[in-house]
Amino acid sequence: MTTPLPLRHAAEQEAARLPPLLARAEHLAGTVLLGEHGRRRAGMGDDFWQYRPVQAGDSRRMVDWRRSARSDAEFVREREWQVAQSVMLWVDTAASMRFASSKDLPEKSDRARLIALATAILLIRGGERVGLTGTTLPPRRGRAQIIRLAERLSDTQAADYGTPEARAMLPHARAVFISDFLGDITAVEAALTKAADRGVRGVLCQVLDPSEESFPFQGRTIFESVGKSLRHETLKAGELKTRYLDRLAARKDALRHLCRVTGWQFTTHHTDSPAQAALLWLHSALERPA
């Protein structure tokens, strides 16, 4: 039985983390100017787009009689194509993300959360529906969804490496996967293929710590994963550097290749570079037509 006091304390601590995250995400999102609205072409929607002369094949019901009565020709009224996009986020909350190589750097999960939430804020402002992959938080509009996203993103996971959640993906939706992608690549592969099957396009954002890129280790070392499930002992860590870097590059190549074949986009973000760069890249990547 959990005692109420520690529970409440923990709850308040968790809750206290939300506003700063929200505020930082809002702040980050505020740096991106939202200049584009709508799809700029005729389609399904509520807003008027244009009148055009009736062409062969248009049914009679499509003729806008009020406009046609003012002239000799018959016109069809077109509306702007306004399809609300659904964007599904998956942020790796596994243990491997809770790592920072120095005190000056944020943890990877921290940065991942920030980028994800800021992206969500931007998208929701743009009128899109944002949710999480899986069934926990389906895409919705509105500010309340941001609060809910923030809550869910603050969850943590005990497993060492996260696997992308690819269930309950809306067809033709957009997806953003943020992780370090250091775990088993087959899960990523499966998730991406599944998403591609459903016509979901999206973005892979790999968040890495600088030490994971440079491998600055020497001497006899036991490397352990954050969750302590994996360990590797070496006598000369310095000797491993090139081979590790080769493997990292291979992993990135694999991810890039996966993205290319599934129509996704891939980027790598380092926690020592500003989050804004990643956010801008994500935003523009999502704006790109599918």
Binding site for other proteins (CB under 8 A): 96-97, 99, 108, 160-161, 180, 182-183, 209, 211-212, 215, 217-226, 230-240, 243-244, 247-248, 251
State how far the Cα of 87 lies from the Cα of 202, in Å rounded to an integer: 9
Q: How far is the CB of 204 from other proteins (least distance, A)?
A: 17
Beta strands 221-224 and 129-132 are unpaired
Cβ burial of 89 (10 Å; 0-12, 13-18, 19+) is: buried
Show the CA angle centred on residue 171, arms to residues 167 and 174, nearest 5°: 85
Between 237 and 278, CB nearer to other proteins? 237
Q: Which of 58/239 has CB closer to other proteins?
A: 239
Q: In the complex with other proteins, which residue's Cβ is closer, 108 or 129?
A: 108
Minimum Å gap between C-beta 27 and other proteins is 28
- Least CB distance to other proteins at residue 134 (A): 23
Beta strands in the chain (DSSP E): 48-53, 75-79, 86-91, 129-132, 174-179, 201-208, 221-224, 231-234, 265-270
Q: Compute the least distance from the CB of residue 95 to other proteins, in Å.
A: 8
- Residue 62 or 226: the one with the smaller Cβ distance to other proteins is 226
User: Greatest CA span in the chain, whole angstroms?
Assistant: 89
